[in-house]
Amino acid sequence: MSDKCGNCDCADKSHHLEEVAAGEVMGSLPMDQAFVQAPEHRAKPSVAEADGIPVIDLSPLFAADGVDVDVLAAEVGRASRDWGFFVVVRHGVPEEVVARAAEAQRAFFALPPARRAAVARSEAVQMGYYASDHTQNVRDWKEAFDLVPTRHSPLPLPSAMVLDNKWPDDLPGFREAMEEYGEAVEELAFKLLELIARSLGLRPDRLHGFFEDHQTTFIRLNHYPPCPSPDHALGLGHHKDAGALTVLYQDDVGGLDVRRRCDGEWVRVRPIPQSFIINIGDIIQVWSNDRYESVEHRVVVNVEKERFSIPFFFYPASYTMVEPLEEVVSEESPARYNPYSWGEFFSARKNGNFKKLDVDYVQITHFRKNAPVHVQ
Ligand SMILES: O=C(O)CCC(=O)C(=O)O
Protein backbone atom coordinates (compact mmCIF):
# COMPACT_ATOMS: atom_id res chain seq x y z
CA MET A 1 0.00 0.00 0.00
CA SER A 2 1.32 3.44 -0.87
CA ASP A 3 2.32 5.82 1.86
CA LYS A 4 1.15 8.72 -0.27
CA CYS A 5 -1.74 10.52 1.28
CA GLY A 6 -5.04 10.38 -0.59
CA ASN A 7 -6.52 13.22 1.37
CA CYS A 8 -4.13 16.05 0.66
CA ASP A 9 -1.14 16.49 -1.59
CA CYS A 10 1.51 15.52 0.91
CA ALA A 11 3.81 12.60 0.26
CA ASP A 12 3.20 10.92 3.55
CA LYS A 13 -0.03 10.12 5.30
CA SER A 14 1.53 9.53 8.69
CA HIS A 15 0.39 12.93 9.92
CA HIS A 16 -3.23 11.82 9.61
CA LEU A 17 -2.51 8.77 11.70
CA GLU A 18 -0.91 11.01 14.30
CA GLU A 19 -4.10 13.06 14.41
CA VAL A 20 -6.19 9.91 14.87
CA ALA A 21 -4.02 8.74 17.73
CA ALA A 22 -4.22 12.14 19.38
CA GLY A 23 -8.00 12.15 19.05
CA GLU A 24 -8.20 8.78 20.76
CA VAL A 25 -5.91 9.90 23.56
CA MET A 26 -8.11 12.73 24.72
CA GLY A 27 -10.22 11.93 27.71
CA SER A 28 -9.22 8.28 27.85
CA LEU A 29 -5.50 8.04 28.60
CA PRO A 30 -3.48 9.32 31.55
CA MET A 31 -1.80 12.68 31.22
CA ASP A 32 1.16 12.85 28.94
CA GLN A 33 4.12 15.10 29.79
CA ALA A 34 3.45 17.17 26.65
CA PHE A 35 0.29 18.59 28.25
CA VAL A 36 1.87 19.62 31.53
CA GLN A 37 1.99 23.37 32.06
CA ALA A 38 4.79 25.05 33.99
CA PRO A 39 3.58 25.60 37.60
CA GLU A 40 3.15 29.36 37.09
CA HIS A 41 0.75 28.78 34.18
CA ARG A 42 -1.50 26.18 35.82
CA ALA A 43 -5.03 27.13 36.84
CA LYS A 44 -5.72 27.49 40.55
CA PRO A 45 -8.43 25.12 41.82
CA SER A 46 -10.90 27.99 41.86
CA VAL A 47 -10.80 31.06 39.71
CA ALA A 48 -13.07 33.98 40.62
CA GLU A 49 -15.87 34.81 38.23
CA ALA A 50 -15.20 38.27 36.88
CA ASP A 51 -17.30 41.13 38.20
CA GLY A 52 -18.02 44.08 36.04
CA ILE A 53 -17.17 42.64 32.62
CA PRO A 54 -18.81 45.08 30.22
CA VAL A 55 -21.99 43.62 28.71
CA ILE A 56 -23.06 45.75 25.77
CA ASP A 57 -26.55 45.63 24.31
CA LEU A 58 -26.22 46.20 20.56
CA SER A 59 -29.97 46.41 19.88
CA PRO A 60 -29.87 50.20 19.35
CA LEU A 61 -28.03 49.42 16.10
CA PHE A 62 -31.15 47.71 14.79
CA ALA A 63 -33.73 50.22 16.05
CA ALA A 64 -35.83 51.87 13.36
CA ASP A 65 -35.63 55.32 14.90
CA GLY A 66 -32.33 57.06 14.55
CA VAL A 67 -30.13 56.19 17.54
CA ASP A 68 -27.08 57.89 18.75
CA VAL A 69 -24.54 55.33 17.56
CA ASP A 70 -21.81 57.47 19.09
CA VAL A 71 -23.10 56.63 22.58
CA LEU A 72 -22.75 52.92 21.80
CA ALA A 73 -19.35 53.53 20.21
CA ALA A 74 -18.18 55.29 23.37
CA GLU A 75 -19.27 52.26 25.41
CA VAL A 76 -17.33 49.94 23.10
CA GLY A 77 -14.34 52.30 23.31
CA ARG A 78 -14.36 52.27 27.13
CA ALA A 79 -14.62 48.47 27.24
CA SER A 80 -11.81 48.10 24.69
CA ARG A 81 -9.57 50.46 26.63
CA ASP A 82 -10.27 49.19 30.16
CA TRP A 83 -10.72 45.46 29.54
CA GLY A 84 -9.66 44.60 25.98
CA PHE A 85 -12.73 42.42 25.76
CA PHE A 86 -16.47 42.61 26.36
CA VAL A 87 -19.68 40.66 25.93
CA VAL A 88 -22.36 41.62 23.40
CA VAL A 89 -26.05 40.73 23.67
CA ARG A 90 -28.97 41.41 21.30
CA HIS A 91 -26.30 41.46 18.62
CA GLY A 92 -28.42 40.60 15.59
CA VAL A 93 -27.08 37.08 14.90
CA PRO A 94 -30.21 34.88 14.91
CA GLU A 95 -30.39 32.36 17.74
CA GLU A 96 -31.25 29.52 15.36
CA VAL A 97 -28.16 30.20 13.24
CA VAL A 98 -25.95 29.82 16.31
CA ALA A 99 -27.88 26.72 17.41
CA ARG A 100 -27.44 25.06 14.00
CA ALA A 101 -23.70 25.75 14.01
CA ALA A 102 -23.34 24.44 17.58
CA GLU A 103 -25.26 21.29 16.69
CA ALA A 104 -23.18 20.70 13.56
CA GLN A 105 -20.01 21.18 15.63
CA ARG A 106 -21.11 18.49 18.12
CA ALA A 107 -21.98 16.15 15.26
CA PHE A 108 -18.52 16.59 13.76
CA PHE A 109 -16.66 15.79 16.98
CA ALA A 110 -18.93 12.79 17.55
CA LEU A 111 -17.63 11.22 14.31
CA PRO A 112 -15.28 8.26 14.67
CA PRO A 113 -11.59 9.31 14.79
CA ALA A 114 -10.86 7.99 11.29
CA ARG A 115 -13.58 10.18 9.79
CA ARG A 116 -12.27 13.24 11.58
CA ALA A 117 -8.76 12.35 10.42
CA ALA A 118 -10.00 12.12 6.83
CA VAL A 119 -10.24 15.93 6.87
CA ALA A 120 -7.01 16.56 8.78
CA ARG A 121 -5.15 19.77 8.01
CA SER A 122 -1.74 19.53 6.41
CA GLU A 123 1.28 21.79 6.23
CA ALA A 124 0.25 23.08 2.80
CA VAL A 125 -3.50 23.28 3.42
CA GLN A 126 -4.06 24.54 6.92
CA MET A 127 -7.83 24.25 7.18
CA GLY A 128 -9.33 21.07 8.64
CA TYR A 129 -9.08 18.87 11.71
CA TYR A 130 -6.23 18.52 14.21
CA ALA A 131 -5.79 17.34 17.76
CA SER A 132 -2.23 18.24 18.53
CA ASP A 133 -2.20 21.99 18.88
CA HIS A 134 0.46 23.62 21.04
CA THR A 135 0.25 27.09 22.59
CA GLN A 136 3.55 28.49 23.91
CA ASN A 137 5.01 25.03 23.10
CA VAL A 138 2.80 23.11 25.55
CA ARG A 139 0.15 20.80 24.15
CA ASP A 140 -3.46 21.93 24.52
CA TRP A 141 -6.13 19.55 25.82
CA LYS A 142 -8.41 20.01 22.85
CA GLU A 143 -9.17 19.11 19.28
CA ALA A 144 -10.27 21.57 16.63
CA PHE A 145 -11.50 22.05 13.08
CA ASP A 146 -10.67 25.23 11.14
CA LEU A 147 -12.55 26.57 8.13
CA VAL A 148 -12.76 29.79 6.15
CA PRO A 149 -16.15 31.34 5.48
CA THR A 150 -16.63 30.45 1.84
CA ARG A 151 -17.66 33.86 0.52
CA HIS A 152 -14.01 34.82 0.69
CA SER A 153 -11.15 33.60 -1.35
CA PRO A 154 -8.06 34.31 0.69
CA LEU A 155 -4.93 34.46 -1.46
CA PRO A 156 -2.20 31.92 -0.72
CA LEU A 157 -0.05 33.16 2.15
CA PRO A 158 3.56 34.21 1.47
CA SER A 159 4.74 30.73 2.49
CA ALA A 160 2.49 29.31 -0.30
CA MET A 161 0.20 27.91 2.37
CA VAL A 162 -3.41 27.88 1.18
CA LEU A 163 -6.54 28.33 3.23
CA ASP A 164 -8.85 25.92 1.36
CA ASN A 165 -11.62 24.16 3.23
CA LYS A 166 -11.92 20.43 3.78
CA TRP A 167 -15.54 19.43 4.31
CA PRO A 168 -16.38 16.12 5.97
CA ASP A 169 -18.28 13.65 3.76
CA ASP A 170 -21.68 12.41 4.82
CA LEU A 171 -22.33 14.94 7.54
CA PRO A 172 -25.60 16.42 6.29
CA GLY A 173 -26.06 20.11 6.96
CA PHE A 174 -22.55 20.69 8.36
CA ARG A 175 -21.25 22.86 5.55
CA GLU A 176 -24.52 24.80 5.25
CA ALA A 177 -24.62 25.49 9.01
CA MET A 178 -21.05 26.77 8.99
CA GLU A 179 -21.56 28.95 5.93
CA GLU A 180 -24.71 30.45 7.39
CA TYR A 181 -22.92 31.07 10.70
CA GLY A 182 -19.90 32.64 9.00
CA GLU A 183 -22.06 35.05 7.05
CA ALA A 184 -24.10 36.17 10.07
CA VAL A 185 -21.09 36.60 12.36
CA GLU A 186 -19.18 38.49 9.70
CA GLU A 187 -22.00 41.04 9.57
CA LEU A 188 -21.64 41.48 13.31
CA ALA A 189 -17.85 41.78 12.99
CA PHE A 190 -18.22 44.63 10.49
CA LYS A 191 -20.64 46.43 12.85
CA LEU A 192 -18.13 46.08 15.69
CA LEU A 193 -15.37 47.35 13.43
CA GLU A 194 -17.47 50.41 12.71
CA LEU A 195 -18.11 51.04 16.42
CA ILE A 196 -14.41 50.69 17.15
CA ALA A 197 -13.52 53.09 14.32
CA ARG A 198 -16.05 55.64 15.62
CA SER A 199 -14.73 55.25 19.16
CA LEU A 200 -11.26 56.18 17.90
CA GLY A 201 -12.68 59.27 16.20
CA LEU A 202 -12.26 57.73 12.74
CA ARG A 203 -14.60 57.60 9.75
CA PRO A 204 -17.11 54.76 10.46
CA ASP A 205 -15.88 52.66 7.52
CA ARG A 206 -12.20 53.54 7.98
CA LEU A 207 -11.17 49.94 8.73
CA HIS A 208 -13.52 48.14 6.34
CA GLY A 209 -11.14 48.27 3.37
CA PHE A 210 -8.70 45.92 5.07
CA PHE A 211 -11.35 43.18 5.02
CA GLU A 212 -13.18 43.79 1.78
CA ASP A 213 -11.18 41.58 -0.59
CA HIS A 214 -9.42 38.34 0.26
CA GLN A 215 -9.72 38.61 4.04
CA THR A 216 -7.98 35.72 5.83
CA THR A 217 -10.70 35.35 8.47
CA PHE A 218 -11.33 31.84 9.71
CA ILE A 219 -13.64 30.01 12.08
CA ARG A 220 -12.38 27.47 14.58
CA LEU A 221 -14.55 24.77 16.11
CA ASN A 222 -13.00 23.89 19.48
CA HIS A 223 -13.79 20.74 21.44
CA TYR A 224 -12.31 20.36 24.92
CA PRO A 225 -12.91 16.78 26.15
CA PRO A 226 -13.07 16.08 29.89
CA CYS A 227 -9.52 16.01 31.25
CA PRO A 228 -8.21 13.66 33.97
CA SER A 229 -5.74 16.27 35.21
CA PRO A 230 -7.15 19.78 34.87
CA ASP A 231 -4.77 21.03 37.55
CA HIS A 232 -1.78 20.31 35.24
CA ALA A 233 -3.14 20.84 31.73
CA LEU A 234 -5.02 23.65 30.03
CA GLY A 235 -7.56 23.36 27.23
CA LEU A 236 -5.73 26.24 25.64
CA GLY A 237 -2.61 27.93 27.00
CA HIS A 238 -2.41 31.64 27.69
CA HIS A 239 -2.23 33.73 24.52
CA LYS A 240 -3.46 36.90 22.85
CA ASP A 241 -5.33 36.91 19.55
CA ALA A 242 -3.21 38.07 16.64
CA GLY A 243 -5.97 39.39 14.38
CA ALA A 244 -8.18 42.46 14.50
CA LEU A 245 -10.93 41.09 16.70
CA THR A 246 -12.43 37.76 17.72
CA VAL A 247 -16.15 37.02 18.03
CA LEU A 248 -16.41 34.03 20.35
CA TYR A 249 -19.35 31.74 21.03
CA GLN A 250 -18.98 29.54 24.14
CA ASP A 251 -21.43 26.91 25.40
CA ASP A 252 -22.76 26.92 28.98
CA VAL A 253 -19.93 24.89 30.59
CA GLY A 254 -17.52 27.75 31.29
CA GLY A 255 -13.73 27.68 31.41
CA LEU A 256 -12.62 30.82 29.58
CA ASP A 257 -10.32 32.95 31.75
CA VAL A 258 -9.05 36.40 30.89
CA ARG A 259 -6.28 38.30 32.58
CA ARG A 260 -7.92 41.35 34.12
CA ARG A 261 -6.10 44.49 33.13
CA CYS A 262 -6.47 46.40 36.39
CA ASP A 263 -4.75 43.79 38.61
CA GLY A 264 -3.34 41.07 36.33
CA GLU A 265 -5.55 38.39 37.95
CA TRP A 266 -7.08 35.55 35.94
CA VAL A 267 -10.87 35.80 36.07
CA ARG A 268 -13.52 33.45 34.65
CA VAL A 269 -15.95 34.73 32.01
CA ARG A 270 -19.40 33.46 33.00
CA PRO A 271 -21.32 32.11 30.01
CA ILE A 272 -24.32 34.30 29.19
CA PRO A 273 -26.92 32.66 26.94
CA GLN A 274 -27.17 34.12 23.45
CA SER A 275 -24.13 36.33 23.82
CA PHE A 276 -20.77 36.61 22.12
CA ILE A 277 -17.48 37.51 23.73
CA ILE A 278 -15.46 40.06 21.79
CA ASN A 279 -11.67 40.14 22.11
CA ILE A 280 -9.62 43.05 20.89
CA GLY A 281 -6.73 41.55 18.90
CA ASP A 282 -3.15 42.61 18.31
CA ILE A 283 -3.95 44.34 15.00
CA ILE A 284 -6.34 46.78 16.67
CA GLN A 285 -3.71 47.34 19.33
CA VAL A 286 -1.27 48.38 16.59
CA TRP A 287 -3.80 50.36 14.51
CA SER A 288 -4.82 52.29 17.64
CA ASN A 289 -1.17 52.80 18.67
CA ASP A 290 -1.86 51.13 22.05
CA ARG A 291 -5.03 53.06 22.89
CA TYR A 292 -6.65 49.62 22.97
CA GLU A 293 -4.72 46.49 23.90
CA SER A 294 -5.28 42.84 23.14
CA VAL A 295 -6.02 40.75 26.17
CA GLU A 296 -4.41 37.55 27.40
CA HIS A 297 -6.77 34.59 27.81
CA ARG A 298 -6.72 30.81 28.29
CA VAL A 299 -9.12 27.91 28.65
CA VAL A 300 -9.36 25.75 31.75
CA VAL A 301 -10.72 22.20 31.42
CA ASN A 302 -12.53 20.00 33.92
CA VAL A 303 -12.81 16.32 34.79
CA GLU A 304 -16.48 15.83 34.02
CA LYS A 305 -17.72 17.90 31.16
CA GLU A 306 -16.69 18.45 27.60
CA ARG A 307 -16.83 22.04 26.38
CA PHE A 308 -17.37 23.57 22.94
CA SER A 309 -16.53 27.04 21.63
CA ILE A 310 -16.41 28.75 18.23
CA PRO A 311 -14.06 31.68 17.75
CA PHE A 312 -14.46 33.72 14.56
CA PHE A 313 -11.04 35.26 13.91
CA PHE A 314 -11.56 38.46 11.92
CA TYR A 315 -8.35 38.80 9.90
CA PRO A 316 -7.49 41.25 7.07
CA ALA A 317 -6.14 40.37 3.62
CA SER A 318 -2.68 38.83 3.64
CA TYR A 319 -1.15 41.78 1.75
CA THR A 320 -2.14 44.21 4.55
CA MET A 321 0.76 46.11 6.10
CA VAL A 322 -0.18 46.58 9.74
CA GLU A 323 0.94 49.84 11.34
CA PRO A 324 -0.50 52.59 13.55
CA LEU A 325 -3.15 54.53 11.63
CA GLU A 326 -1.99 57.96 10.54
CA GLU A 327 -5.02 59.56 12.23
CA VAL A 328 -3.97 58.33 15.67
CA VAL A 329 -0.31 59.29 15.50
CA SER A 330 0.97 62.80 16.06
CA GLU A 331 4.05 64.56 17.23
CA GLU A 332 2.93 64.08 20.85
CA SER A 333 1.97 60.47 20.21
CA PRO A 334 4.42 59.06 17.64
CA ALA A 335 3.95 55.61 16.08
CA ARG A 336 4.97 52.91 18.53
CA TYR A 337 5.25 50.10 15.96
CA ASN A 338 7.12 49.50 12.74
CA PRO A 339 4.94 48.25 9.86
CA TYR A 340 4.69 44.48 9.43
CA SER A 341 3.15 42.26 6.78
CA TRP A 342 0.05 40.47 8.05
CA GLY A 343 0.56 37.61 5.56
CA GLU A 344 4.09 36.96 6.78
CA PHE A 345 3.11 37.21 10.43
CA PHE A 346 0.16 34.85 9.95
CA SER A 347 2.24 32.32 7.96
CA ALA A 348 4.99 32.34 10.59
CA ARG A 349 2.47 31.67 13.35
CA LYS A 350 0.69 28.90 11.43
CA ASN A 351 3.91 27.29 10.35
CA GLY A 352 5.50 27.37 13.81
CA ASN A 353 2.34 25.90 15.23
CA PHE A 354 1.99 23.15 12.62
CA LYS A 355 5.61 22.05 12.92
CA LYS A 356 5.53 22.52 16.72
CA LEU A 357 8.73 24.51 16.33
CA ASP A 358 10.41 25.05 19.63
CA VAL A 359 10.83 28.77 19.01
CA ASP A 360 9.18 31.84 20.46
CA TYR A 361 6.06 32.86 18.58
CA VAL A 362 6.36 35.96 16.46
CA GLN A 363 4.69 38.72 18.52
CA ILE A 364 3.71 42.31 17.86
CA THR A 365 6.22 43.33 20.52
CA HIS A 366 8.90 42.38 17.97
CA PHE A 367 7.66 45.28 15.84
CA ARG A 368 7.65 47.80 18.65
CA LYS A 369 9.93 50.68 17.82
CA ASN A 370 13.32 50.21 19.48
CA ALA A 371 12.51 46.55 20.29
CA PRO A 372 15.42 44.11 20.03
CA VAL A 373 15.67 42.65 16.52
CA HIS A 374 13.66 39.40 16.21
CA VAL A 375 15.17 36.59 14.20
CA GLN A 376 12.52 34.31 12.75
O1 LIG B 1 -12.57 28.29 23.87
C2 LIG B 1 -12.55 29.46 24.18
O3 LIG B 1 -13.38 29.97 24.96
C4 LIG B 1 -11.46 30.39 23.68
C5 LIG B 1 -10.89 29.95 22.38
C6 LIG B 1 -9.70 30.74 21.95
O7 LIG B 1 -9.26 31.66 22.62
C8 LIG B 1 -8.99 30.36 20.72
O9 LIG B 1 -9.35 29.36 20.08
O10 LIG B 1 -8.02 31.10 20.38
Ligand 1 centre to CA of 172 (Å) is 26
**Count of structural domains, the chain:** 1
Domain that holds residue 107: 3-316+343-364
Which strand ranges, in their side-by-side order, compose the sheet holding 236-239?
A: 236-239, 297-299, 256-259, 266-268
Is residue 295 lining ligand 1, measured as CB closer than 6 Å?
no
> Is the residue at 371 inside a domain?
no
* Between 46 and 224, the higher pLDDT residue: 224
> Is the residue at 338 inside a domain?
no
DSSP label of 156: P
How many whole angstroms separate alpha carbon 188 and alpha carbon 198? 15
Is residue 277 lining ligand 1, measured as CB closer than 6 Å?
no
> Is the residue at 197 inside a domain?
yes
Closest-lying ligand 1 atom to the alpha carbon of residue 220? 9
Relative to beta strand 266-268, strand 340-341 is: unpaired
State yes or no: pLDDT of 15 exceeds 50.
no
> Is the residue at 306 inside a domain?
yes
Q: What is the pLDDT of residues 293-328, one digit of tens each?
A: 999 999 988 889 999 999 999 999 989 999 999 999
Q: Could you tell me the pLDDT band of residue 3, with boundaries at 50, 70 and 90? A: very low
> Is the residue at 205 inside a domain?
yes
CATH for 104: 2.60.120.330
Q: What's the count of helices (H) and strands (E) in the chain, helices before strands?
A: 8, 16
> What is the model's pLDDT at position 27?
44
Q: Hey, which of 246, 279, 300, 312 would you mutate to test ligand 1's pocket, going by the most ligand atoms within 8 Å of its Cβ?
A: 246
> Is the residue at 149 inside a domain?
yes
> What is the model's pLDDT at position 356?
55
Ligand 1 centre to CA of 238 (Å) is 10
> Is the residue at 277 inside a domain?
yes
Ligand 1 centre to CA of 333 (Å) is 33
Is residue 220 lining ligand 1, measured as CB closer than 6 Å?
yes
> Is the residue at 164 inside a domain?
yes
pTM of the model: 0.88
Ligand 1 centre to CA of 157 (Å) is 23
